[in-house]
Amino acid sequence: MSPEPDPEPPAEESSPPAPGPGPERRGELIRPAPVVFGDDDDADGTELGAVFRTYLRDYIGDSIGRAGPSNAICPFVRGALRAGVMHYAELRVAGHTAPRAVARALVGYLAWFDRASQRESAEHPGLVVAFPGPPAPLLPVVAAAHRAVLPAVYARGCTAALFHEDPARPDDPRHPEPRYFTAPAPFYVLRRIIPADLQLSLRVLQMFPAYHRLHAAEARRTRLRTKEAAERWNQACREHGLTP
């Protein structure tokens, strides 16, 4: 069942409803509902979806050549696939589509994921939104939408990243997660903020208040064991007016 419209829209516009049960045309956008990726099934319904399922399982979630399971690019992917909490959708975007329209679509997916992930298992759920088509005209639009939506993402206790395969486009210095990355197509990832995100939250200024709100007690108890970590934590708390 589709959730209600997101209450935290980007760009001061009312947000759309989250993706419904079938394809929905919004101008130049086509927003199908997410599907669940299993570890060994290919019932995702699209050719690119089948490629992404294999890519997530055998590349992002694989630690071969990386010195152990904890050194997979994302060590949670395999567990999420097995548990049936890895979701996938495709957002088809024309190159001339306004970033604001793409941002509204991403907010819809955020609302859907926020509610779905709160109902799911202890395995770390995720939502991958792929952007089919030539990446060159897509990336400026999608990157602008990603930046606009980040405050709403953090407000819901999530984090997001945009991955692409264009070495000519530098990473956004304000947010270290969007980055050049080998991939079948540009893709956007939503996931919950977890205790292990301490170092990421210390690098990403916007993310730290959300991490502190969710995991400060555990961080103080288990993750500030070095003088450097404690100093960085205290500095970030001072910058945001939070209790160390």
Neighbours of 142 (CB within 10 A): 26
Query: Cα separation of 139 and 168, whole Å?
Result: 11
Two tokens, residue 208: 């730290």
The residues facing 164 across adjacent strands are: 180
Residue 233 or residue 140, greater confidence: 233
Residue 33 or residue 218, greater confidence: 218
Q: What is the pLDDT of residue 129?
A: 93
Per DSSP, the residues of 75-86 read TTHHHHHHHT-E
Q: What is the pLDDT of residue 103?
A: 94
- Angstrom CA distances, 242 to 153, 200, 209, 235, 238, stand at 20, 18, 8, 10, 6
- Angstrom CA distances, 63 to 56, 57, 168, 187, stand at 12, 10, 28, 21
Q: What is the pLDDT of residue 157?
A: 94
- Angstrom CA distances, 36 to 15, 61, 102, 174, stand at 24, 16, 22, 32
What is the four-CA torsion angle of 94, 100, 101, 102, rounded to 10 degrees? 60
Two tokens, residue 196: 């292990």
Per-residue pLDDT reduced to its tens digit, 99-157: 899 999 999 999 999 988 887 666 688 898 999 888 888 888 899 999 999 999 999 99
pTM for this predicted structure:
0.76
Maximal CA-CA distance, the chain: 53
Stretch 153-167: mean pLDDT: 85
Query: Cα separation of 205 and 209, whole Å?
Result: 8
What is the four-CA torsion angle of 207, 171, 104, 210, rounded to 10 degrees? 0
Residue among 4, 30, 34 nearest 17 (CA)? 4
